[in-house]
Amino acid sequence: MRANLLAFLFCTMPSVTVYAQQFVVQQPVVGTTSVATSVAVPDRGRTFLGGVSSAQSSRSRFGFHQPGSSLGLSRSSNSMSVGVTVIDLREMDEAILNSVPDRPEPASRFSRHAAAISGSCAGSPREPTRDVESTADRAAKFERLAHKAEAENRSRVAKLHWKMAAKYGSATAHERLR
């Protein structure tokens, strides 16, 4: 009875035309190559870590009356190297902040005042005065650098110099930063 029912359904159903479409799906081939090693590379140097090569080939024949063949070749090569550039931001800041010409300039009003105060208060006038003078000299050096940077339209560098001058006790720098 079932066979008759199926035959009846197939015969009575309207014919439907089915069009086939061909899809090509390409999937990527992913490979991973890794190296677990330690190397010593100098600043701005390069070193070669290693490499991997592979090759594949295949050939196939088909057909009885008119034989045909196909040939496939595949080659791949991977290599790894490392390049090193060390960026020391602290060293760069010091180079910028200490780029002052070696010409002596008169001490600022603040440094003379600080030296006079420290000399009168200390039991041993030489050591405290030398410490205050070196601090005042540093403040004056950074003030000179700030003025120079401003003259060269380098406002960010000037601001760094003003901050350093303020750190060493420059009243002028404190006023400028406000």
- The pTM (predicted TM-score) of the whole model is 0.32
| Contact by Cβ (8 Å): 160, 173 | no
pLDDT digits (tens, 9 = 90+) for 96-155: 777 765 555 555 555 554 444 444 444 444 444 444 567 888 888 889 989 998 998 888
pLDDT at position 156 over 80: yes
